[in-house]
Chains A and B, each alone.
Chain A
Amino acid sequence: MATVTFDSATRIYPKSDRPAVDGLDLQIGDGEFLVLVGPSGCGKSTSLRMLAGLEEIDAGSIRIGDRDVTDAPPKDRDIAMVFQNYALYPHMTVEQNMGFALKIAGVPKSEIATRVAEAAKILDLEDYLGRRPKALSGGQRQRVAMGRAIVRSPQVFLMDEPLSNLDAKLRVQTRTQIAALQRRLGVTTVYVTHDQVEAMTMGDRVAVLKDGLLQQCDTPGTLYERPANTFVAGFIGSPAMNVITGPVVDGGVRLAGAVLPVPRERLLRAAGDGGRVTVGFRPEAVELAPEGVPVVVNVVEQLGSDAFLYATLGASDDGDVLHTADLVVRTEPRSAPAVGETVHLRVREGGLHVFDPVSQQRID
């Protein structure tokens, strides 16, 4: 086990003028489960591949423990990787797949057999050791890929969207199993996903990337409660946080003719640019009230335990037309309003986030 350090690590692909990963600074603790999350093309897989030694590093460095591995080939990094499509050797049996790395390393046959058997037991693969990958289900293949990583007892596990090829039910099951296995083995793990639910449920910490830049790296709770900018605010949480920009007035921000109260000191810091401010509130941080910001309900989603209103914020009555904003609001299913109805929203105490309208950064 070891720590992992990205020190201003940068990767620029040939024939590209923009870095795929731009000066990534990240410290991953010994035994920590860190999830890299972000939309397609944000650089999360590239970051993982840089750590694996499968991508060159154009600037900066990467350390595993105290060892600088920036220029080391993958085999000298003491890492094991689980690929998105598992990358099992099709002509080898499960046992041979799992023991291949040890065989190359010159480990004696008896020890390979013991270690493969141990991993197979942990992953419940004992009955499948003689089978080829094509004779396995998706979930079993995924476990073999995990087993191939486990038998090596590496310092770091790298996982590149290992659940994306499984169906929804199996994904939830396997998610829990992987998280439990990682806690049990205590191996430092870097896990890449585009699914924010996976990120939030599995990681000790989650690093959110966008356009090759690290936006925020924090515990799932902090990411949710105190997003560093509007991108993180919108990316983490499902449904996403409502983020709207409006003009500053006395006591708050005016939205559709009503005033949404914002603490004065945060308003003062935010309203530097043309007297506007960006506010955000999560669907569950809003309640329906007799007075507040008026919205028109477009769709009502009944989920049994909750109902989600998809509503549109109208223009203000004094001619200050806002961009039409779509909002999501969680309500009690029994008292959900009808489609087409105009309702008024009030943000609950502590549920409002304030962002700079230009830099999009959080203001506390």
Chain B
Amino acid sequence: MTTLASAPEQTATAPAATPTRTRRRGARKVTSAGPLTHVLLVLTAFLSVFPLYWTAVAASKTNAELAGTPPPFLPDADLFTNIGRAMEEAPIGLAIVNSVIVAGCITVGTVLCSTLAGFAFAKLRFRGNKTLLGLVIGTMMVPTQLAIIPLFILIAQLQWVDHLQAVVLPTLVSAFGVFFMRQFLSQALPDELLEAARVDGASTMRTFWSVVVPVARPAMAVLAMLTFLTAWNDFFWPIIALTSENPTVQVALAGLGGGYVPDTAVIMAGTLVGTLPVLVVFVVLGKQIVGGIMQGAVKG
């Protein structure tokens, strides 16, 4: 009796234990990385972070120290002195505010217009849909430099030179953004969802706000990040349209450390201050954006 009672217990526990072990081993295979991978990852991370670290180091030294051999690798206490000098030389504070306004407006405009246009191209049936999309994509092939002179004449006639709207308005919508949103919505937004909204009585605009935007949110976040970075780093058009009296960050940085010998420490201090807001944006939004990219990938 004892033998009979204990035997099934063993057979019952044995198969339960085996799959658990297999599953664990399987999971470890997916999540764990080998030593070589670790070394490569650490190296990549170091290479990515080093320019920023070097900027911070250079911003805390003097020009003479930076010219020494070997170059310094540890930050110094002169960081705030150099930042102070940079802010005296150029209106960095105003430039940051201007850049936030400019990049913010361009981001909101681009994301909104691109989502609207992307939705129309992806899901609405209208005559000339493909031709118009081709035309929009075609504009990506026109170099920016080609439009600079007519654009400058235009804003000069509007008396917008040295005004922020001169930088904001020409880039309120981008062909890349329209194409990006169109591709995302073609795949991520099922036609039935829009038809369900139509049957439910929603107008096209109501459908856009209540159904399309929530589905498009991950792609909108990615586009917002990319647009914000591009707008923040834009130099060519702002230096033409604005002056050092009312600059964006990049225009202000261009005026730093001038003279017979460029003052690298001051330039680096200004650059560091100008980079911080972008870093803050990425730290705040980064997780959502990466999550958004993943979500889109799985859905697509």
Contacts and interface: CB of A to CB of B under 8 A. Distances in A.
Interface of A: 52-54, 73-75, 79-81, 83-85, 87-91, 100-101, 104-105, 148
9 contacts: A52-B199, A53-B198, A75-B200, A75-B202, A89-B196, A90-B215, A91-B214, A100-B202, A104-B201
Contact of A100 (B190, B195, B200): B200
B206 A104 contact: yes
Contacts of A105: 201
A87 B190 contact: yes
Interface string B168-212: 000000000000000000000010110111111110001000110
A104 B202 contact: yes
Given A83-B192, A84-B192, A89 B199 contact: no
Interface residues of B, number: 16
Given A89-B193, A104-B206, A80 B215 contact: no
Contact of B193 (A73, A74, A80, A87): A87
Contacts of B198: 53-54, 73-75
A104 B200 contact: yes
Contacts of A91: 214-215
A291 B193 CA distance: 61
Given A52-B199, A81-B196, A89-B211, 7 more contacts: A74-B198, A87-B192, A88-B196, A89-B197, A90-B214, A91-B215, A104-B206
Nearest to B214: A91
What's the dominant secondary structure at chain B's contact region?
Answer: helix
A101 B200 contact: yes
B231 to A, nearest CB: 28
Contacts of B202: 75, 100, 104
A105 B200 CA distance: 9
Contacts of A88: 196
A181 B178 CA distance: 46
Contacts of B196: 81, 83, 87-89, 148
Contacts of A85: 190, 192
B199 A80 contact: yes
8 A-B pairs with least C-beta separation:
A75-B201, A87-B192, A101-B200, A91-B214, A87-B196, A104-B201, A83-B192, A74-B199
Contact of A101 (B192, B195, B201): B201
Contacts of A80: 199
A18 B200 CA distance: 31
A149 to B, nearest CB: 9
Interface hub of B190, B196, B198 (most chain A Cβ within 10 A):
B196
A81 B190 CA distance: 16
B201 A87 contact: no
A295 B50 CA distance: 85
A83 B199 CA distance: 11
Nearest to A154: B199
A108 to B, nearest CB: 16
A85 B193 CA distance: 9
A52 B193 CA distance: 14
Nearest to B196: A87
B247 to A, nearest CB: 41
A80 B200 CA distance: 7
A104 B211 CA distance: 13
Contacts of A74: 195, 198-199, 201
B271 to A, nearest CB: 40
A84 B190 CA distance: 12
B85 to A, nearest CB: 50
A208 B196 CA distance: 26
B212 to A, nearest CB: 11
Contacts of A148: 196, 200
B206 A54 contact: no
B201 A81 contact: no
Interface in B267-297: none
Contacts of A83: 192, 195-196
Contacts of B201: 74-75, 101, 104-105
